[in-house]
Chain A
Amino acid sequence: MSMFLPAYPQPDARGRFGRFGGRYVPETLIPALDELEEAYLDAKRDPEFLNELERLLREFVGRPSPLYLAQRLTEHAGGAKIYLKREDLNHTGAHKINNCLAQALLAVRMGKRRVIAETGAGQHGVASATAAALLGLECIVYMGAEDIRRQALNVFRMKLLGAEVREVTSGTATLKDATNEAIRDWVTNVRDTFYILGSVVGPHPYPAMVRDFQAVIGEEVKVQLEAVEGRPAPDAVVACVGGGSNAIGIFAPYAYLPEEERPRLIGTEAAGEGVESGKHAASVAGGRIGVLHGSMMYLLNDDEGQIVAAHSVSAGLDYPGIGPEHCHYSETGVAEYVPVTDAQALEALQLLTRLEGIIPALESAHAIYHAVQLAPELGPDGIIVVNLSGRGDKDVAEVMRLLEQERDAGLLDRDPEQLIAEVLA
């Protein structure tokens, strides 16, 4: 089977999805972005590049990832069948590796031997370090000090893989600041450095390129669902969104279909302690249009344009913006974006773990929560596909800490054990 990369009608020639996207970056980077765009378009048409990518996705990543009918979760939710797209089974534990391998191959093709990346939860950092190790590239990963604390295991993994992890202490010391620092590095070393950007954010062509590299997720679902259900599109597709790469990867193959063939596309935003609390990362529900990291998007920022710190229990969703294509989907009604709180995500994590023997990443748990809410609404004839974007190994220490903290603070008058039992009741 030879591979092809999709060609979607968006963005336009200027890198815009409607009014979103663009290239709001220092002029120093514009030639590099032009060079990248050209190299990407060229690679996209080159069978040698595509075959190598296809081979690595198959032999190294383990694609295609299964589409799994979550029988017990379906019974628990009481309605539509819930399928899980098992990106958590990918090598390195998340969908991030799809994009990293592809970008690292592109770096090699462009003759760049030094790659940089930013990471929040560490999954993109681990995937970048992995791809760099595989291809013999020097790799530097920027990571906020707060995320380094939350994701110590992934930090160690990156180092073990030979990457240098640079701690970022400026601003909120999380993903947005790590991204600033990576962009600054790129501005400085642009002539010999390839920036492996981890989500569908950043200046054009990144949002389009990352989407194309992640669209393999949705393309596989179409084939897999056709095989088991006799139709390529479910009734609803649910995926979590921080920057939004796993969601775009499963949405995009459906998003440009005619409305009558298109499933409901639902992105779950991290609502933290609730959108009204101000402590959240829900850029669509609680943000407004602005510019961050080179792109116009929905953004958490105050009335003078200062970026507001995002909050989420999940380091991977702790980002104050959302990719421009999602913004355009939201504005045009192609997709819906719903908030899911920290507590709801924690609950869903425990639920999936107990019912299916799958510990999801806290990110993906946001999507699981909403799917369970949606299932009764769609009824037993309905089909929901949830993108299980990553596994929860990286999160278990944090989850343990949070559950113990809740118990110790008297917020729970029961042990976590009892809480779980109640959730399942």
Chain B
Amino acid sequence: MTATLTRGAERLHAAFAGAKAENRAAFIPFMTGGFPSAAGFPAVADALLAHADILEVGIPYSDPLGDGPTIQRASEQALAGGTSTRRTLALIRDLRARHGTPIVVMTYVNPIYAVGPREFMRLAQEAGVDGLILPDLPPDQDLEIADLAAEHGLAVTFLIAPTSTPERVKLVAEACTGFLYAVSVTGVTGTREGSALSEVPAMLVLARQHARVPVAVGFGVKDAATARQVASVADGVVVGSAFIHAVRDGQDVGALAAEIAAGCGR
């Protein structure tokens, strides 16, 4: 752990604090970089950023094993359109020129290793990325990634799940510098069964014993009603697949974002 907060961590914590001051959970929409196309992405991101406390941008990846079919297909479409690692970071740099809202990048580790961890962090820093979400990197797998991120001013977010043991929750929570991401269900993104959120409160009690950062909940939050449920117990609400569906169906993404953002009130 670095003794002082990185620039990215400070900005993320401020976003959570701002939402809390308004008695809300932070609203964290997700969008796949370069989806539906490199040209179409900025407008979608703008629509989300108009309501977001933090925007999560996914680096499209060929083998996203933590994602369900919705985000997987969005990744395939973005890749087919020529967007992957460097291009996604360039798209974020362009967003940064128009928006002050913090932006975090969700990426599987292979793109980081392929570009080179140090080079990847340098590019992310240069693009104005505030933090990284690493769905296939348990924090004890690669201790250097978090250090390299910190060196470049980036916060890191690791994930806990309903299956996490108390020891794992402690280890993961203590490693997070941006926020802690609690996965609401055992499953991939975009899937949720009726009663799945029932496991969230107990998980959060455990997480808060160890986390020195805000705790956000994601996976399966798809509308204002589920957002409200999650917002009553979490510091932040992550919504992803619902926005991919909206883009694909030609819905008004901004209106859906406004609705779910309102749902994040307590």
Q: Are B111 and A31 in contact (CB under 8 A)?
A: no
Q: Of A256-264, A296-304, A339-347, which stretch is located at the interface?
A: A296-304
A176: chain B residues at CB < 8 Å are 63
CB contact list, B49-69 vs A, under 8 A: 61-66, 68-69
Known: A180-B65, A187-B66. A28 touches B186 (CB 8 A): yes
CB contact list, B178-197 vs A, under 8 A: 183, 186-188, 191
Q: Are A26 and B114 in contact (CB under 8 A)?
A: no
Q: Are A27 and B188 in contact (CB under 8 A)?
A: no
Q: Are A23 and B141 in contact (CB under 8 A)?
A: yes
* B188: contacting residue among A177, A188, A291, CB under 8 A: A188
**Interface size bucket, B side?**
35 or more
* A31: contacting residue among B62, B65, B86, B165, CB under 8 A: B165
Q: Are B136 and A291 in contact (CB under 8 A)?
A: yes
* A304: contacting residue among B114, B158, B183, CB under 8 A: B114
Known: A290-B114, A301-B110, A305-B111. A26 touches B161 (CB 8 A): yes
Q: What's the Cα separation between A22 and B165 when bound, in Å?
A: 19
Consensus secondary structure, chain A interface: mixed
Q: What's the Cα separation between A301 and B62 when bound, in Å?
A: 10
Q: Which residue of B lies closest to A294 (CB)?
A: B136
Q: Are B113 and A25 in contact (CB under 8 A)?
A: no
Query: What is the CB-to-nearest-CB distance from B35 to chain A, in angstroms, rounded to a whole number?
Result: 15
CB contact list, A176-195 vs B, under 8 A: 176-177, 180, 183-184, 187-191
A403: chain B residues at CB < 8 Å are none
Query: What is the CB-to-nearest-CB distance from A12 to chain B, in angstroms, rounded to a whole number?
Result: 13
A301: chain B residues at CB < 8 Å are 110, 114
* B61: contacting residue among A25, A183, A306, CB under 8 A: A306
* A26: contacting residue among B79, B110, B113, B159, CB under 8 A: B159
A25: chain B residues at CB < 8 Å are 65, 136, 138
A304: chain B residues at CB < 8 Å are 84-86, 111, 114-115
Q: Are A28 and B183 in contact (CB under 8 A)?
A: yes
A293: chain B residues at CB < 8 Å are 63, 65
* A24: contacting residue among B114, B137, B162, B188, CB under 8 A: B137
Q: What's the Cα separation between A307 and B165 when bound, in Å?
A: 32
Q: What's the Cα separation between A31 and B61 when bound, in Å?
A: 25
B19 within 8 A of A: no
* B158: contacting residue among A27, A288, A292, A299, CB under 8 A: A27
Q: What's the Cα separation between A190 and B66 when bound, in Å?
A: 13
* A307: contacting residue among B72, B73, B110, B168, CB under 8 A: B110
List the interface of chain B (C-beta within 8 A of A): 61-66, 68-69, 72-73, 76, 79, 84-86, 108-115, 135-138, 140-141, 158-165, 168, 172, 183, 186-188, 191
List the interface of chain A (C-beta within 8 A of B): 14, 22-32, 34, 170-171, 176-177, 180, 183-184, 187-191, 288-294, 299, 301-307
